[in-house]
Amino acid sequence: MRKFLLGFLIAAAAGFGPGGPLRAAVPNVVTDIAPVHALVSQVMGDLGQPDLLVGQGYLPHDYQLRPSQARALEQADLVFWVGPALTPWLEQALGALDPTAGQVMLSQAEGSHQRLMRPGGAFDSTGAGAQTGTQAGAKAGAEAEQDPHMWLDPANAEVWLGVIAEELALADPENAASYRANAAAARAEIAQVTAQVKIRLKPLRQVPYLVYHDAFQHFEKAFGMNAVGAISGGDAAEPGLRRMVQMRDLARARNVRCLFTEPQIDAARLSEVFGGLDITLAALDPLGADLEPGPGLYPALILQIAEGMANCLSQPGK
């Protein structure tokens, strides 16, 4: 018996078990936000479950890590995140990790559509701030200028699925074929959802609307929607009364039908300013906080945003 145990331990150390080679461990994977977690979950499939740092209902920009999440980061083999423009606190945390841990900044993935942040107020008609395709490399070092909500462009999600699959395949070659097959299936599902959304929103592409915070530019450009301005200048910027009045005047001049807010925004102040107009306030969530985390979240999120826009923009004016 002792000889058997000794032989087993030697074989295990060499990567072999009694029945042949031991299975390689599936990598420990950590993700930043729920949409990225969904994409990684789709690629990993039944092989493993990634950890999610920013839980549902929390805002990613100034999130505070819990001790259990810090430990998960320390033990991670791979970390998939959008980038410091979305989660600046995570950049410092990643810098303290073991350098052998793979850190994949998806916002810099080759082929991703990048767009520059637009200042608050009225948007011009030239599409200022847009930056796509091969232009991405020229601004690779200007992460702070990027609009970080890149997951809302389904074309980016399809690119990221390929990146995720290849990184997992590199870390776990034994399951490389499964990761790539799962990514291909996920891309097909997203393509189908994108086609549905294009049909749903096509009749509404010229209808002007406002957003409280310019978080939906990537969705807007992907589907040709007509946002004409943002009230707030950024994630943490509280608009003053002067800006609010300017946007009310813009809404009146452009016959704006909808103002899209987000769940964390107190709509009472907006209702006071815009209450005299024929305008509907409707909440959209770029993170899908009310959706179940997991592989189904991403396609559900794109459909949810599209349906929220369509329900508001299709309402007839009074």
Tens of pLDDT, residue by residue over 266-311, are 778 888 888 888 899 999 999 999 999 999 999 999 999 999 999 9
> How high is the pLDDT of residue 2?
43
**What are the helix (H) ranges across the chain?**
2-13, 34-44, 67-74, 88-95, 154-171, 176-201, 217-223, 241-253, 267-274, 297-313
Q: What CATH number should be reported for the domain holding residue 290?
A: 3.40.50.1980
**Judgement on whether residues 151 and 89 belong to the same structural domain of the protein:** yes
Residue 7 lies in a domain: no
Confidence of residue 95 (pLDDT cuts 50, 70, 90): confident
In terms of domains, do 160 and 251 share one?
no
Residue range of the domain that includes 157: 26-134+142-196
The domain tally of the chain equals 2
Asked whether residue 268 is assigned to any structural domain, the reply reads: yes
**Bridge partners of 227?**
209
Q: Mind listing the pLDDT tens digit for each residue in 23-78?
A: 458 999 999 999 999 999 999 999 999 999 999 889 999 899 999 999 999 999 99
10 Å Cβ neighbour count for 178?
18
Q: Which residues pair with 282 in a beta bridge?
A: 260
Which range, of 112-116, 122-126, 138-142, averages the lowest pLDDT?
Answer: 138-142
At CA 193, angle to CA 192 and CA 198, rounded to 5?
A: 100
Distance CA 186, CA 259 (A): 32
Does residue 246 share a domain with residue 210? Answer: yes
Q: What's the average model confidence in pLDDT over 120-134? A: 57
Query: Does 4 map to a domain?
Result: no
5 falls within a domain: no
Which of 39, 44, 117, 54 has the alpha carbon at shortest distance from 77?
A: 44
Pair (242, 261) in one structural domain: yes
Residue 10 has pLDDT above 90, yes or no: no
Whether 126 and 156 share a structural domain? yes
The whole-number pLDDT of residue 292 equals 96
Residue of 200 and 134 predicted with greater confidence: 200
For the stretch 265-276, pLDDT in tens is 877 888 888 888
Q: Are residues 40 and 171 in the same domain?
A: yes
Instruction: Fill in the DSSP letter of residue 142.
Output: -
Domain presence at residue 218: yes
Asked if residue 298 belongs to a domain, the reply is: yes
pLDDT in tens, 32-47: 999 999 999 999 999 9
